[in-house]
Amino acid sequence: MTPWLTLALGLVAIAIVLVDAFEAMLLPRRVARNLRLARQFYRVTWQPWAALGRRLGPGKRREIYLSVFGPLSMLVLFTVWAAGLILGFALLHWSLATPLSSLRAGASLFEDLYLSGVTFFTLGYGDVTPIDPLGRMLAVLEAGIGFGFLAVVISYLPVLYQAFSRRELTISLLDARAGSPPTAAQLLVRSAAVQDREDLARILGEWERWSAELLESHLSFFVLSYYRSQHDNQSWLAAATAILDTCCLLIAVVDCDHVYQAGLTFAMTRHAVVDLAQAFKSPPRLPDHDRLPPDRLSRLRDSLRSAGLTLREGPAVAGKLAELRAMYEPFVASLSAYFVFPLPAILSDAPPVDNWQTSAWMRRTAGITELAPAQPDDDHLD
């Protein structure tokens, strides 16, 4: 390999890593360009990881396995970036034949890699150092980039986990309001029992803001999308789908005063799932099965009517409901297949169970067994 080609490869490697790290960690907007190191990294690593997870089948083992990917991939990506910078500067030293102390002229690539690694992490051993002005300038430049890179990585992690914590906080609050996994039917039935007529409007307003923050944070820090919730029966996609289902029913089926707020929340949440599906190159697809066939819709109407809600009647109701569902179900189904997230039902067949009811200690001390006949959430049995 000629020195000029080696020099060009080193410069390209450094430029690719610096631009990619800047776009992934510092640039507060989505980059649509496909030729990105981080995008290709996640595309190459997630597909086989998810394929193996699907082979495990639904359950606790699969969720534990899939939950490892988000934090692990972030650490591996940092390592890839660091390795790319170290290799790039080593290629520069090798192409320039940088003379090194304690070594004869014409050092090997391995020695240049050692010099580059020690310089990047600012270890300062001093056993191998450049002795010409150009080599020393490259060493100072690499040390500065390495120090800045480590500082950005350290500051990046708290921001990432704060966004994750805010996302999960609101999802956890949905547990007592809509069950686990959340369903639109339970959210509407439980809110109907509240005497405060504005309670549901406040809930929808909170979820409108949650959806906006989901869109902003998960496009800026796309690794957050791979972070799974604490409980196996919860996820950001299940929560967003349940809210979309709820808004859909409020707009088309339930005769209430919250249609305007339901429309705002529906628009914001749909915007989030559509943009995320586009960001992850996950084209819309039909759900594996109809989530609300005619017999289930009839049961849903009976359930809502029994809760005291007034329902709209007429042939236009079913058409409006189908129209609204077609606006988001293909996108949530696509994200469900990509991230291996199960979609919640609109109306659950089993009696509703909340995560707080499934603790083994709660069962022994408070007799929750009668209230929660379904299988407990395995998270609490460790």
DSSP sequence for 145-160: HHHHHHHHHHHHHHHH
- Residue 302's pLDDT band, with cuts at 50, 70 and 90, is very high
Structure token pair of residue 61? 């083992």
Q: Is 130 helix (H, G, I), strand (E, B) or coil?
A: strand
Mean pLDDT of the chain: 86
pLDDT at 181 over 50: yes
Average pLDDT over residues 206-211: 96
pLDDT at 104 over 60: no
pLDDT for the residue 288: 85
Average pLDDT over residues 76-99: 91
pLDDT digits (tens, 9 = 90+) for 145-172: 999 988 988 888 888 899 999 999 999 9
pLDDT for the residue 107: 65
pLDDT at 376 over 50: no
Average pLDDT over residues 283-304: 92
378 or 297: whose pLDDT is higher? 297
Contact call for residues 81 and 17 (beta carbons, < 8 A): yes
pLDDT at 33 over 80: no
pLDDT for the residue 380: 44
Structure token pair of residue 32? 């649509």
For 264, counting Cβ atoms within 10 Å of its Cβ (0-12 exposed, 13-18 middle, 19+ buried), the class is middle
Lowest mean pLDDT across 228-237, 272-281, 372-381: 372-381
pLDDT digits (tens, 9 = 90+) for 58-68: 888 999 999 99
pLDDT for the residue 365: 52
End-to-end CA distance of the chain: 57
pLDDT for the residue 374: 45
Contact call for residues 282 and 341 (beta carbons, < 8 A): no
pLDDT for the residue 360: 55
pLDDT at 366 over 60: no
- Residue 251's pLDDT band, with cuts at 50, 70 and 90, is very high
Question: CA–CA separation, 235 vs 175, rounded Å?
Answer: 11
For 32, counting Cβ atoms within 10 Å of its Cβ (0-12 exposed, 13-18 middle, 19+ buried), the class is exposed
Question: CA–CA separation, 362 vs 194, rounded Å?
Answer: 25
Amino acid at 379: D
Q: Domain 3-155, what fold?
A: Helix Hairpins (1.10.287)
pLDDT at 182 over 60: yes
pLDDT at 382 over 60: no
Lowest mean pLDDT across 64-73, 256-265, 369-378: 369-378
The pTM score is 0.85
pLDDT at 283 over 90: yes
> What residue ranges do the domains of the chain occupy?
3-155, 174-349, 354-382
Q: Is 296 helix (H, G, I), strand (E, B) or coil?
A: helix
Q: Is 174 helix (H, G, I), strand (E, B) or coil?
A: coil
Residue 347 Cα to chain centre, angstroms: 26
